[in-house]
Structures are given as C-alpha cells and as structure tokens.
Structure 1
C-alpha cells in the first residue's frame, strides 16, 4: 500500500474552485477502484470524484460545504501498489477523466428517496444547503429558496440534485407560489391535479418566447398587480390628427400615428407623478431621473418586444414621431439593436391595435407600472351643454394601468391614469404642426 493525495479536480477551463457537497466515505472506510469518495459542485456542474484504485480513506482535509481551490489536497488515501505511476503524478483528475473511471456500487450508499405525498406547503427536504449549480439553476428559472425547500430531494442525506430541480420544473412547479411554512391545520392546501393536456401539434417555444414566458411569470410572482381603469374622450385628438396627418408627413417626412401623441401625453403625466417612474431594489425605491417610455411591439414572429423612446419628456412631437417610426420599422425588419430595447422606465401597450377594448397588462420588470390603451371607438355618450344634457357621438377609449402595489398605492395609480386621460381629453385642437 502507498500514500496517495486526492486533490480537487479541475472541472472546466474557467473553474478555479469547487464546493464539497458531501463525503460518501468516512475516515477508515475502505473502497474499490471507481467508488465515489465525495461529490463536488461548481457553478456549472456537479461532479463525483472517484477512487483511482482500491484502498482506504485515511484522512479528510475539508468538511462538507467547504470551498476548495482546484489542486488543493482533499484527502489522504492508502491505495494498492498497482496504481499506475501516471495516476500518482496526475493527481488532479479532470471531469472527463473522472467520467471514464469505472464506478462500482460496493461502498456507495443508496440515495435517500424523500418524495413528499403531502399537498400542503410543507418542506419536502430538510437539508437547506444548496450547491452553487442548484442556486444558478434556481436564479435562471426565478425559483425562490422557499420553493427549493419544497422540491423532493433524492440526493445523499436529502441533498437536492440537478435532476430533482429539472423534474420539478417539468411537472409545472406545483410549489411556485409557496409561502412560509405554517403549522396551522386549516391552512390552504394546493391540490395535486393531473391535467389532461390533450393531443395535437407540438410546437417548441423559440428562445424569445421562453424568455417572455419566464419574464411574465416572474413579474406576476414578484409584483402584486392591481389594475385601475378610466375612460377618456379622444374626440379632439382624433379630429386634430385626422386633419393634420397629411400635412405633417409632407412637412417632416414622418407618418403621424396615434402612438407619438400617446407617448407625449404619458411623458407629461409621468413628470406630474414622478413616483410612477420607479423601480424596487430590496427595501429601496429608485425614482428614475430619465423618462424613457417603452412601447410594447409585436414582431413578425408574433413575439413581443419593447423598444424605448429615450428622454421622451424632452422631445417635441416631430422627434417623438421620428423615433417611434424608426423603432417600429426596425421591429418589423428584426433590426432592433440592444440599445433600442434598454433603459425603459415606464411602458405603454396599445392593445387597441388588435381590436381589444381594454387589457390588464403585466408589468415590465423592474418597472412599477404599465399602461394599456384600448381601441378608439365611436359611441353615443351623454354630454352637458348650454342647452342641457345631449347625446353626442364621441371617440372613446378605455385606459387600464397595472401597478405594483408594493410601492404604488391606489391614490397614486388612480391619479396618474386619470391625468393621462385628462391630457388626452384636453388636447389642443388649434395646435400647429
């Protein structure tokens, strides 16, 4: 028998350290060639470190959860004399080399099966240590620690494995909205329903659709959404735009759609209520200095993107129209650059474009509010004139503001959307282009 230093393996070109998940053998335990001695995690992979030959574990140099640099001695082994000289010299096993080593189950303990059959918000695994890889996967899928703690774990000593997390995601994340554990027997229990998803043509989501889905679920999970509604009389705005759109294009070479008029009015309302132009950072509210209005825009693929009119409050109507048209053209041609979709502080979504009367938009994180504009529709309304109440045909629109109730209360949200409607209704019909 000879002494052998088992070192932290190098598991990738950019990996400089690893975290010991757990030791599968204790000091004094014997093992066969290929038996797994310990499990190591990095932010990219969980790896099993095998024994290079039969022998005995003499001493461990680190404990579970310790972070160890690559090449550092993990343990001292006593191994049989027939270990190859090359193996003794190359004590830092790579992940590829490790995967080629023959594994035997003589000494490896069986994984702990801890699948919970309870439908309550009880903790499925009591081991709350999560490897860097598990934490990275959780961040990518916006899975909270509360939710991780409820995923059935099959690893050693109740450790959560990568396969456990992906199986949980495939099952539809039944504990997605898990709250703090409660011992109250009357607490609400989530039913474990097995839905028939039916048969039909299977269409795989493209990368953008996956990102949209992820962002929408994250937004609903992060922000308590409240929606306020008002209706506005756009008759003056509609009449002015119809009377001036041809002259506007002849003078400036730009189409005059309703979107620039909406952006202009919204930017003015944001200046009146600056706290709507904010984001949340932990317990802090960041009120933005710039007013950058995002415009939810449909791409030819059907996906959604939000190009941004930067500093909209400082631009005149001609400049806003030019910017809006340029961004819309880029979107249709799939030519939007990274800078075109960055920096939004408040978003509008013109659902009326698709014929919708109104909508309940989902907040574009990390903003705290989003405004949906419904279809402009002519309908009879009762108005008050010098002669009394009369019925007139007006161009009406519903506005709906979804806001984050963590930082925006009903007074601010309602006042803001009402101010936007006021700017629409008070449009100056004598305005010069």
Structure 2
C-alpha cells in the first residue's frame, strides 16, 4: 500500500480554483474505484470528483467551504501499489521510517480525474434527442460526449453508453486527447492576445461555444445566397397587422410569415428536413422550425415551433409570440427547445444585410434572413423595364454538404424566395 496526495483537479481552461462543497468519504472510510470522494463547485458548474481506484481516506487537508487553487493537495489517500502507479497527478509520500528526498520535484497541477487515461474523439458522433437530454441533465458538453465510445451501429452513441460512462465516474471528463500523427501539425503559435478586462464565459456561453465548434468540425458547411422581393408581403402586413391583433389578440411580426414560407418549401423538398445517422439519412416526418433567439444576456437560444406546416397564420403567430415571450422572461422549458428539424436565424433583426449561420446540429441546414431594405430595382414588364422602389431581403442557406448537394440547396432556397415573393395580397385571416 502507498500513500498518495490527492489534488484539486483542473475543471476547465479558465478555472483556477474551486470551492469544496462536501466530503462524501470521511477520514478512515474505505472507497471503491469510481466512488465520489468530494463535491467541488466552480463559477460554471458543480463537479463530483471520483476515486481513481479503491483505497482508504487517510485525512482531509481542506474543509467544506474552503476555496482551493487547482493542483493543491486536498486529501491523503492510501491505495494499492498498482492503483497508485496509475495516478499521474499524485506524488507518492515517503513511508514512515524511509528517508525523505532532500530535493523536492516541482508539483504539477494535474487533475485526479484524468489519471493516465486519454481518449480518441468520435468524429462521426450523432447525438440523438435521448442522449442529448441525458447530457444536458448531467452537464456533459458535446466535446465530452465525443470522448465516449459508442456501442451502437457504426459506433453510434447510445443512452446506455452515457449512463455507463456516468456510473464509471466520467473518466474522460478532464482527459487529454490522443494526438494522431499526420502530415500537417498545427504550429504552437504564441499570439499576443493583448490585455484588458477578463470576462469568463457563463455556462450557457460555454455550451454554445462547444456546440458551434462541434458543428463546424462535424459538417462541411457550404452557404448559398439569394435575394427576394418582399414588397407585397411588407405591404400586406403593414395594412393588416392592427386588424390581425384586434381579431386574434396576437402581434403579427414577419417571423410567422417567414416560417410559413419555409415550412411550405420543406414540403416540396423534404430531403432538406433530415439528419445524418452514420451512413443513413433520416428524413424527418415532422416539420419543426427552430427560431434562433437572442436573450437579454446576449446568449443565443433556439425555441421550436412544432408542426409548423400544420398551423395556420394565427397558430404560427401565437406560437412564435409565446416562445419569444418565454425566452425574454427566462421561462422556456426543455420541451420548448427540443425536436427542431430546421432552424431560421433572423440576422436582419440586428440590422445585418446577410449572414452565414452555423448549422444547428444534427440538422442538415439553417436559413438566415437579412434586413428588409428598400432599394431601387429594375422591374421587367411587357411594356418595358421600369425602375421602382422595392422592399428587398437577402436569404442565405448554410447546408451540410455530406447530405445536401448544391442543386437541392439552391432549389430549396429559391423556393423559399418564390413563396415570399408570390405572397397573396388578397389573403384573409
């Protein structure tokens, strides 16, 4: 048996310290590999730190509510010699009666959870809604999910894989990736990042960052553009928005009109409403439109209008108004953000002419709608060309080139524009 120093693990690149919440294994108690020894809180999330192997808790070096820097000793454990050798973050203590070394080696601020384990990234990871729900409940990022070995068909990640991973104490939570040698190595460039106020990401921003990097890493993004003449739509809405609100008690924004045009285009091109599962393409039966919505904090969230193709204009207006209201008030529930099959990001809300949105995984495409701007346009007529003031808008579609080719993307995007341009100015509600 060997005594080892159990240190405060590193729990993120920007985390330098943690607060001891509670010791779950008391002094003198024994534990098994994977048992939770201590709960540690950071600014971002609470963490359960598991035992690297079976052994005995000899002593606590810190108490509950103590703030401890990463790498500092928090406990003394007694492990078997085999288990002790596996702990890369722990340094053996000299046994009683044995001579202590006169020269101490620098202590490395490594983490107790990584040990000598490393992982390979699952580059073809498909996250089902069930796995996503388990991950969100346990604060597992997409990056960490990619470290788990999937046992499903073609390496697909199953719920049982995530559950077993949690039961094992999340061994790869802080592990370092295995670097495969390749012909090109990313140079370690020492950029001058400058100085200034340090603003740490909140938990939501961290998850958004993980999701965006995962999406760009997973899907080869291609973006197509088209412009649409929304003059008839704008004229009709301006003439009817007050009447609509008086009759249905719902505000009539452009969002439900855009969703209606997109849902109708999806019905004409159902392959755009799909996801990739290994080597299979899943064409979704439901048309659920996600709306990228900015929160007061600046973070982005995507509430979902379910079965958008089956709702009339009143139903779409009611659904969008309710979801936007919940977003601003922080009252969205889990079901409000699940199940989207296609997403719209209205970058025109912020005054942007156009955008190149990142796909909301595991969807196949995402649409960005720009600002509606009046311009002088040449209008072709049988009697000759004229110049008129028209309300124009750019549309941009980012799509996953693994499952959507240029013809499908271009045809779908053009159909959305046609639906917007051929707006029925005589429609009633």
TM-score using structure 1 length: 0.64
- Is 1:334 paired with 2:330? yes
Alignment correspondent of 1:390: 386
Deviation for aligned residue 1:11: 3.7
Unaligned runs of 5+ in 1: 1-7, 16-42, 53-73, 78-91, 94-98, 112-126, 146-161
Q: Deviations over 1:138-189 (max 9, x none)?
A: 96446669xxxxxxxxxxxxxxxx9999596xxxx9x9xx8x744xxxx444
Structure 2 CA distance, aligned partners of 1:341 and 1:325?
15
Judged with a 3 Å threshold, the aligned counterparts in structure 2 of structure 1 residues 103 and 252 are, in CA distance, closer, same or farther, namely farther
Q: Deviations over 1:233-280 (max 9, x none)?
A: 000100000010010001101100000000011000011111111111
Alignment correspondent of 1:275: 271
Deviation for aligned residue 1:204: 1.0
**Match runs of 1:121-270 below 5 Å:** 130=119, 140-141=143-144, 181-182=181-182, 187-270=183-266
Judged with a 3 Å threshold, the aligned counterparts in structure 2 of structure 1 residues 229 and 100 are, in CA distance, closer, same or farther, namely closer
Asked whether the equivalents of residues 35 and 50 of structure 2 are also in contact (C-alpha less than 8 Å), the reply is no
Alignment correspondent of 1:401: 397
Unaligned runs of 5+ in 2: 1-29, 38-47, 58-78, 85-89, 100-104, 106-115, 121-134, 149-169
Asked whether the equivalents of residues 226 and 403 of structure 1 are also in contact (C-alpha less than 8 Å), the reply is yes
Structure 1 CA distance, aligned partners of 2:141 and 2:335?
28
- Is 1:313 paired with 2:309? yes
Alignment correspondent of 2:351: 355
Asked whether the equivalents of residues 377 and 387 of structure 2 are also in contact (C-alpha less than 8 Å), the reply is yes
Q: Which of 32, 41, 44 is residue 10 of structure 1 equivalent to?
A: 32
Q: Which of 52, 66, 80 is residue 47 of structure 1 equivalent to?
A: 52
SS in 1 for 2:378: strand
SS in 2 for 1:271: helix
Q: CA RMSD in A?
A: 3.8
- Count matched residues: 309
SS in 2 for 1:296: strand
Deviation for aligned residue 1:284: 1.1
Structure 2 CA distance, aligned partners of 1:139 and 1:263?
28
SS in 1 for 2:195: coil
Deviation for aligned residue 1:304: 0.4
Judged with a 3 Å threshold, the aligned counterparts in structure 2 of structure 1 residues 140 and 414 are, in CA distance, closer, same or farther, namely same
Deviation for aligned residue 1:50: 7.0
Alignment correspondent of 2:361: 365
Alignment correspondent of 1:88: none
Structure 1 CA distance, aligned partners of 2:247 and 2:231?
24
Asked whether the equivalents of residues 368 and 397 of structure 2 are also in contact (C-alpha less than 8 Å), the reply is yes
Judged with a 3 Å threshold, the aligned counterparts in structure 2 of structure 1 residues 359 and 103 are, in CA distance, closer, same or farther, namely farther
SS in 1 for 2:322: helix
Structure 2 CA distance, aligned partners of 1:427 and 1:51?
73
Structure 1 CA distance, aligned partners of 2:409 and 2:35?
51
Asked whether the equivalents of residues 297 and 305 of structure 1 are also in contact (C-alpha less than 8 Å), the reply is yes
Alignment correspondent of 1:286: 282
- Is 1:414 paired with 2:410? yes
Indicate the structure (1 or 2) with the bigger Cα radius of gyration.
Answer: 1
Judged with a 3 Å threshold, the aligned counterparts in structure 2 of structure 1 residues 392 and 130 are, in CA distance, closer, same or farther, namely closer
Structure 2 CA distance, aligned partners of 1:191 and 1:101?
35
Asked whether the equivalents of residues 141 and 214 of structure 1 are also in contact (C-alpha less than 8 Å), the reply is no
Asked whether the equivalents of residues 372 and 400 of structure 1 are also in contact (C-alpha less than 8 Å), the reply is yes
Alignment correspondent of 1:87: none
